[in-house]
Amino acid sequence: MSYPIDTTRPAPPAAGEPGYRPDSQSRFRTCPVTSRRIHAQAEAAVKVNAVTAIVFLLVGTIAAVLIVLTRWQAVHLLSATWFYRLLGVHAMSMLIFFIIFFEMAVLHFASTVLIDARNSAPKTSWVAYGLMLGGALLVESMMWGGKADVLFTSYVPLRADPLYYLGVIFFAVGALIVTGVFFANLVVAKRERTYEGSLPLVVYGAATAAIIAVITLLHGAAIYIPTFLWSLGLMKVDPEVYRMVWWGLGHSSQQINVAAMVAIWYMLGALTIGAVVLNEKISRSAFVLYILFISMASAHHLLVDPGLGPAWKVVNTSYFMYMAVLASMIHGFTVPAGMELGMRLRGYTNGLFGWLRKAPWGDPGFSSLVLSVVVFGFVGGITGVTIGTEQINIIVHNTLRVPGHFHATVVSGTAMAFMGATYYLIPLIFQKRVAFWRAAKLQPYLFAGGMFIFTVSMTFAGNFGVPRRHWDITFSQAPYSVPFNPIVDLLLAFVALGGLLAATGAFIFVGIAVKSVFFGQALGPVTRGVAMVGVPQGITHPPVHAADVDQRNAELHDASRGIMGPAPGTIVLVLIFLAVFALYFFSNWKILSFLWRIG
Ligand code: HEM
Ligand SMILES: [Cu+2]
């Protein structure tokens, strides 16, 4: 048993003691809540990247509302041109700018605050930020101006203005530089001995995200630079090669999101209820699996591409991809089990789920964490493995099942985790209280609930053959008619309802973040054990372990407790998960057998 973030730091060396560095020392503050040393230039980088991310979340959500109201056939709001234009804006603003700016905040945070280290290259951080922001603004202006109606995949031969590709390249170079700053911070921290032994698990998870980011961004360079030159008429780009290399970027970047999300899971578990790490080696190996197997999984985007053979497709998307899935399933077990054990160690030992009942459901950091784990696993994970199987993919390829799946992973999983983390960043880094506190307590439920309705309805609509990225499925201007099962109308109405609820949750989140950061009440002194409006309970009631924690731990691990082990509640949850998984997977093969009768 160990802790995902080290909470027991010795005081920094005072003047005259070995290790004292006057130059950097002066730019640290000591966090009054956690006693961590926070470097001013690290804090500034976290702040500016997080705020920028949230501004893009706002842009992406506005576009989301407009496109969701167009996909709802009964409303059909936008014209075809604006539907596709805003679909591109939505994906770039959300998946690229919101998510990646937030990840830059996470990388700066994990490589400094969590190991008491300094930002070793503040100027470089700012240059990178400038490049990223400049690139993002260039891309946005091209898209809104109608010069890049190519959707976020920009498949060749769709051609955008060269400045669009240049904007993406600037953004990617900036992000690559930040990964450099991240590794430099770790090296300097090691040299300055701000931490001992191996990296805490959360930092380790962030490091795997950074390594995958480097691999991903190199794929990005390999495809966007030729495409930029192609848009200038200087070279040729083969569409099939484009798709393959582009997905080396497009899919691998999802693994950055997953690794960053899992690192945040461990962090929020520790901060909110004192979750522990069951087994460091297992959690760390699972992170390594992500690095090893992720590029191959990109093949699932090419499952109907004619240029590639079935053996290549099956080997990559089944055997190799399952290793990355295995990693997520390991975290999907160790995170809740660590939470259960953490709660049991502090005396919440009643029955199978007493620890869950007594958990702080009103802490938006905690509820975001649980909702993120549950929806990511049950909806995102299960649907992903299923549609990633070549045979099943054939019946749902490019239907709404695809966005149904990835809104459950990157939105209900990653974006939800990032929102949860923000509820702790506001008091700890921005030193403000969380504004609109009652709305903040409800926000995770609204966002996750809406997304749940949205993703499940999309998945069903996809089963009935409703295409993704489609302006008008009634084909009103076509000379032929394409009838859908009438239930599709109902499902699309639910897609809209769920989407609008989730968007409301996102707007509330943006409102809370902006109000707290720019116009919020200062955090002020925090008295342990006294609840405060606008301060998550992990801060007012930090989870401390009892003095006899080792004895309690030994009792929980006692062999007499039987095969259910020290975290029986989680074992039951895992069995439910596996049963749902098997049932869903099986039912899809059953559907396949109806469609393709043999003999
Ligand atoms: C706030 C609530 C959100 C709503 C209501 C929403 C809604 C939608 C809708 C209706 C589509 C179009 C599906 C289609 O016609 O094929 C879509 C596509 C997409 N969304 Fe979202 N979304 C939300 C949040 C997000 C977030 C947070 C992300 C990323 C982090 C995201 C990433 C994407 C991507 C990558 C696409 C695919 C675009 C394409 O096919 O080119 N969405 N979303
Ligand atoms: Cu993928």
**234-267 pLDDT, tens per residue?**
999 999 999 999 998 999 899 999 999 999 999 9
Q: What is the pLDDT of residue 243?
A: 93
Establish whether residue 61 lines the binding site of ligand 1, counting it when its CB lies within 6 angstroms of any ligand atom.
yes
Q: What whole-number distance in Å separates Cα of residue 425 and Cα of residue 109?
A: 10
Question: Mean pLDDT of all residues in the chain?
Answer: 92
Tokens 């990511």 locate to 376
List, in order, residues 6 or more apart from 357 with CB less than 8 Å away.
350
Query: 0.85 cut: is pTM over it?
Result: yes
For residue 250, which ligand has an atom nearest its CA?
A: 2
Asked whether the predicted pLDDT for residue 20 surpasses 80, the reply is no
**Which one, of 244, 387, 417, lies nearest residue 325 by Cα?**
387
Q: What whole-number distance in Å separates Cα of residue 84 and Cα of residue 563?
A: 54
Residues 77-117 have pLDDT tens digits of 999 999 999 999 999 999 999 999 999 999 999 999 999 99
Q: What is the pLDDT of residue 31?
A: 86
Q: What is the pLDDT of residue 591?
A: 87
Tokens 């679909």 locate to 87
Residue nearest to atom 30 of ligand 1 (CA): 95
| For range 284-298, the mean pLDDT | 86
Residue 578 pLDDT grade (very low, low, confident, very high; cuts 50, 70, 90) = very high
Which CATH fold would you assign to the domain 346-522+547-592? Cytochrome C Oxidase; Chain A (1.20.210)
CA distances from 291 to 13, 207, 211, 284, 388 (A): 37, 10, 7, 11, 19
Which of 90, 97, 158, 456 has the most ligand 1 atoms within 8 A of CB, as the residue to mutate? 90
Asked whether the predicted pLDDT for residue 299 surpasses 80, the reply is yes
**Which one, of 103, 224, 219, 217, lies nearest residue 163 by Cα?**
224
Residue 364 pLDDT grade (very low, low, confident, very high; cuts 50, 70, 90) = very high
Ligand 1 atom with minimal separation from the 506 CA:
1
Q: Count of alpha carbons within 13 Å of 20, Cβ hemisphere only? A: 9
Q: What whole-number distance in Å separates Cα of residue 507 and Cα of residue 514?
A: 10
Residue 549 pLDDT grade (very low, low, confident, very high; cuts 50, 70, 90) = confident
Chain-centroid distance of CA 327 in Å reads 15
Q: What whole-number distance in Å separates Cα of residue 49 and Cα of residue 504?
A: 23
What one-character DSSP code corresponds to residue 113?
Answer: G
CB atoms under 10 Å from CB of 575, counted, come to 10
Could you state, in order of their start, the residue ranges of all structural domains in the chain?
A: 28-197, 346-522+547-592
Q: What whole-number distance in Å separates Cα of residue 390 and Cα of residue 313?
A: 7
Ligand 1 atom with minimal separation from the 467 CA:
16
Q: What is the pLDDT of residue 402?
A: 96
Q: What is the pLDDT of residue 19?
A: 61
| Both tokens assigned to 83 | 């539907």
Residue nearest to atom 34 of ligand 1 (CA): 91
Establish whether residue 68 lines the binding site of ligand 1, counting it when its CB lies within 6 angstroms of any ligand atom.
yes
Residue 521 pLDDT grade (very low, low, confident, very high; cuts 50, 70, 90) = very high
Residues 304-347 have pLDDT tens digits of 888 888 888 888 887 777 888 899 999 999 999 999 999 999 98
Q: Give me the percent of the chain exceeding a pLDDT of 70.
A: 95
Residues 24-61 have pLDDT tens digits of 556 888 888 888 889 999 999 999 999 999 999 999 99
Which residues have CB atoms below 5 A from the ion given as ligand 2?
A: 251
Establish whether residue 99 lines the binding site of ligand 1, counting it when its CB lies within 6 angstroms of any ligand atom.
yes
CA distances from 383 to 388, 411, 582 (A): 8, 14, 11
Q: What is the pLDDT of residue 401?
A: 96
Residues 448-498 have pLDDT tens digits of 999 999 999 999 999 999 999 999 999 888 898 888 999 999 999 999 999
| For range 289-299, the mean pLDDT | 82
Q: Could you tell me the distance, in angstroms and rounded to a whole number, from the CA of residue 118 to the centre of ligand 1?
A: 37
In three-state secondary structure terms, 63 is helix
Residue 211 pLDDT grade (very low, low, confident, very high; cuts 50, 70, 90) = very high
Asked whether the predicted pLDDT for residue 213 surpasses 90, the reply is yes
Asked whether the predicted pLDDT for residue 177 surpasses 90, the reply is yes
Establish whether residue 539 lines the binding site of ligand 1, counting it when its CB lies within 6 angstroms of any ligand atom.
no
Asked whether the predicted pLDDT for residue 287 surpasses 80, the reply is yes
Establish whether residue 86 lines the binding site of ligand 1, counting it when its CB lies within 6 angstroms of any ligand atom.
no
Strand 37-39 relative to strand 28-30: parallel, antiparallel, unpaired?
antiparallel
Q: What whole-number distance in Å separates Cα of residue 17 and Cα of residue 13?
A: 6
